Structure 1
Amino acid sequence: MRLLQITASNVWRGHEQQIVYYYEEFAAKVEHQVLLCTPDTRLHEIAVERQYNVHTLPFHSEYDRKWMKKIHQIIKEEKIDLILIHNSTAHTLCVLSSLLYGWKTPMVFFRTLIKKVDTNFFRKWKYNYKGLKKIVCVSQAVIDVLNPAIKDKSRLSIVGSATDLNEFHRTQPNGNLRRELGLADDTIIIGNIAAFVGFKDHVTLVNAAEQIVKEVPNVKFVLAGKGELEADIKALVGEKNLTDYFAFLGFRTDIPELFPEFDLFLFTSKLEPTGGVLLEAYASHVPIVATRAGGIPEVVVENETGLLCEKENASDFAEKTIRLLQDKALQEQLVQNGYQHLLKNFTRQVIAEAMFKELEAVLKS
């Protein structure tokens, strides 16, 4: 197999991390591998640091002729026989490049968004393009949204998210976060790691916090991430007189160090394809309260590996968070079950092997 992995994404989130896992796990399995991504991104930095076979091109538009030409050149010069596409704009560029230059290299698209694709003719057409042999979805929730637009349902399959136990190997706090924030040793830290965008629903988290602090006054809500709504959430915290209960860390690169410092992970996202960050909580032995929405119930087994709440229901989140904080035996049960669930289904090795089998099947057919 001579594989091209391609993304036009400019962000660093769970999907981009998974590209790294795939590239490194595939290295021993494929004859040749290439990554095409945008420059000046965290993914590109990692690719350079770890000496990937990487090409870059600035992204301007999903109709960029330079990208179409670059894709064609890589296929021709590197003798690529299979393409793994990692975001929607790269999907468009690959399809248009195929039409423009006439190459027939089979494509597989790894889809991680819960978003309808039958909203216009072109979008529906590109998902049924004959050169796109397989659409691998990160969860059944993603398939459910795609289904109405896809003519040949046999092209749909599932490969979930992954985490790296070599990276997330710490399971005990060392007190660094408490020292950084000047917190007392008995302060309960409730963590959240998510971009400040609408579907992550930090509003519900703040509304739940307003109720939680009445029962658990020695608590600190620690939020890591950045995004367009960060200022709005900070303002909401201020309006509710909760400023002393919150710490905003911004974008952090030390997530494996942060996680073990949390006493509980509170995840209020209301439209989540899978919630890969939940796997990091499992790896770090942190109990979870999350939303019963999207692909989250495919990652969190309710009342076995975590507690689930109705989306946008702050009272439900508050009640279950307080209940879990007050029940050490339940915390331990969820943590142990969650870790075993991770080992069986969601390590980078397990997930990469599942994806590789999907790619092999396409190439053989």
Structure 2
Amino acid sequence: MRRLKVMQVIGQMEVGGIEKLAAVIAERCSGDRFCISVCALGGDGPLRQELEKGGVASFCLGKRPGLDWRIVLRLSRLLRSEKVSVLHTHHVGALIYGVPAAVLSGVKRVIHTEHSHDALDDNPRLRVLLRLLARRASTVVCVADEVASYLEGVVGVPRGKLQVLRNGVDTELFRPGLMDEPLWSGLVVGTVGRLDPLKDHLTLLRAFRLLVERVPNIKLVVVGDGPLRGELEAASRGLGIGDRVAFLGRRSDIARLLRGMHVFVLSSVKEGLPLALLEAMASGVPVVATNVGGVPQVVQDRHTGILCPPGEPVELAQSIHQLILDEELRRRVAANARSLVEHSYSLKAMLSGYESLYAAAANGTGGAH
């Protein structure tokens, strides 16, 4: 049987949530039915090495900062040379280049996934552009109900075009257990994510400074890299907690590191449905997360975790401290969170959803349902 050729387009070859999802789709969807590649608008990066290890074809288009219309021609040529049948864009930036490239190359089937709406909130022109370009997509996938509501109510994408397909994680890889070698002799508070302004690690550092005053033997482990790393390392020293904060950078052993954490914290000011949060919940780590985007869909306060408002270090510190003090609460929310992810956010369900969308699009029957 001839395999259906699908090309995913992402912004860059970094190892963030969107990029990680694209890699999982490419590597784990049925290899008998689909041949899925990944193309970055920007330049080379660490994700490309991971894709090559997994046997996934990858491409980089070398996009310059700002609008770079050369990318449309480069992408259209690539789509033709690779004989792509279905184009799958991630985030509105990829859609802007993907739709005209699909038109030029004759690719008739486009699927678009919108992971959050932070880029759209303060940009009405971008919202108009998304609404217009979405007409060319057979389906616009939203990773959370909250994202779908925003695209319908604020952007104006017709409801019939939208389909909610929740992010999923591998619950066999991300599972409860003990780390082979502890990260720290005492309590470990941890976070995983790209070090950029939307993740608001500065609020987490300020909250942790308050925690250090109450909990003597505690460490903060920050996993991930990004443009703010130097600034955040300097901030930790300025707050007097430099010796209590470990910046581990980009890591490939996330599942192992999560098993070494006692509390996981998501301090973001904007989110869709973050994979790192789902991975922590699947790993049986009790979570404290900010009440933003699609997060309340999975973190039900005091049932599957603790919710707190964004940008509030005092309340964030209090929420983390509450979990540290209450062992029964930690156990209960961790068990409930693991159960929720197993039943509603499995990798198998997510991959099956994308496989169905690809097949339907190729057959000309694509559309939300």
Q: TM-score, normalised by structure 2?
A: 0.87
- 1:173 matched to 2:174? The reply is no
Contact 2:79-2:105 within 8 A present in 1 as well: no
2:145 to 127, 131, 140: 140
Q: 1:182 matched to which residue of 2?
A: none
Equivalence for 1:112: 115
Question: Which of the residues 33, 58, 67 maps onto 2:36?
Answer: 33
2:189, 2:263 within 8 Å by CA — same for their partners in 1?
Answer: yes
Residues 293 and 357 of structure 1, relative CA distance in 2, 3 Å threshold: same
User: Which residue type is aligned with residue 364 of structure 1?
Assistant: T
What is the RMSD of the two structures over their aligned residues, measured on CA atoms?
Answer: 2.5
Count how many residue pairs are aligned between Structure 1 and Structure 2.
357
1:42 is aligned to 2:41:
no
**TM-fit CA distance, 1:91:** 1.2
Deviation track 1:37-85 (CA, whole Å, cap 9, x = no partner) reads 3563233212222222444433336754553334334443444332111
Report deviation, 1:211.
2.3
**Which of 5, 12, 24 pairs up with 2:27?**
24
Give the direction of change, closer, same or farther, for the CA distance of 1:90–1:146 in structure 2 (3 Å limit).
same
User: Are 1:72 and 2:58 counterparts?
Assistant: no
1:20/1:310 Cα in 2 relative to 1: closer, same or farther (>3 Å)? Answer: same
Q: How do 1:268-287 residues align onto structure 2 when only pairs under 5 Å count? A: 268-287=267-286
Q: Residues 166 and 249 of structure 1: is their aligned pair in 2 closer, same or farther, counting only changes over 3 Å?
A: same
Q: Which runs of 5+ in 1 are unaligned?
A: 179-184
Code of the residue aligned with 1:4 in structure 2: it is M
**Does 2:365 match 1:364?**
yes
Q: Residues 233-274 of structure 1: CA distance to partner in whole angstroms, max 9, x if unpaired?
A: 333333332223222222222222211111111221121111
- Residue identity in the other structure for 2:253: D
Alignment match, 1:5 = 8
Alpha carbons of 1:204 and 1:358: their partners in 2 closer, same or farther (altered >3 Å)?
Answer: same
Provide closer, same or farther for how the CA distance between residues 73 and 27 of structure 1 changes in structure 2, counting only shifts above 3 A: farther
Taking structure 1 as reference, are residues 66 and 49 closer, same or farther at Cα in structure 2, changes over 3 Å only?
Answer: farther
**Pair 1:142–1:20, CA change in 2 (3 A):** same
Cα separation, partners in 2 of 1:33 and 1:314, compared to 1, 3 Å = closer
Residues 102 and 259 from structure 1, CA distance in 2 versus in 1: closer, same or farther, beyond 3 angstroms? closer
Percent same amino acid at aligned positions?
Answer: 22
Does the C-alpha gap of structure 1 residues 34 and 236 become closer, same or farther in structure 2, counting only changes over 3 Å?
Answer: closer
Change (3 A) 1:67 1:167: farther
Residue 350 of structure 2 is matched in structure 1 by 351
Matched with 2:93 is 89
Q: Which moved more, 1:260-269 or 1:57-66?
A: 57-66
Q: Which moved more, 1:90-99 or 1:72-81?
A: 72-81
Question: Cα–Cα, structure 1 residues 164 and 215, in superposed 2: closer, same or farther, change >3 Å?
Answer: same
Q: Deviations over 1:194-232 (max 9, x none)?
A: 222222112221222232222211111111222232333
* Pair 29,86 (structure 1): closer, same or farther in 2 beyond 3 Å: farther
Secondary structure class of the residue paired with 1:356: helix
C-alpha distance in 1 between matches for 2:35 and 2:155 = 34
Distance (whole Å) between structure 2 residues aligned to residue 211 and residue 62 of structure 1 = 40
Tell me the residue number matched to 2:219. 220
TM-score, normalising length: structure 1: 0.88
Change in Cα spacing, 1:326 to 1:61, as seen in structure 2 (3 Å) is closer
Per-residue deviation at 1:87?
3.3
Give CA-to-partner distance per residue, 1:112-142, whole Å, 9 cap, x none: 1323278355762353233222211112332
Q: Which residue is 2:128 aligned to? A: 124
- Counterpart CA distance in 1 for 2:5 and 2:236 is 51
Residues 90-124 of structure 1 show CA distances to partners (whole Å, capped at 9, x for unaligned) of 2111222245x262512111111323278355762
Distance 2:205 2:121 in 1: 32
Distance 1:119 1:207, change over 3 A: closer
- What is the aligned partner in structure 2 of residue 154 from structure 1? 160
Cα deviation 1:293-325 (Å, max 9, x = unaligned): 111111222211111112122222222211211
Asked if 1:14 is matched to 2:17, the reply is yes
Q: Secondary structure at the match of 1:162?
A: coil
Matched letter for residue 247 of structure 1: A
Residues 257 and 151 from structure 1, CA distance in 2 versus in 1: closer, same or farther, beyond 3 angstroms?
A: closer
Gaps of 5+ in 2: none
Task: Give secondary structure in 2 for the equivalent of 1:337.
Answer: helix
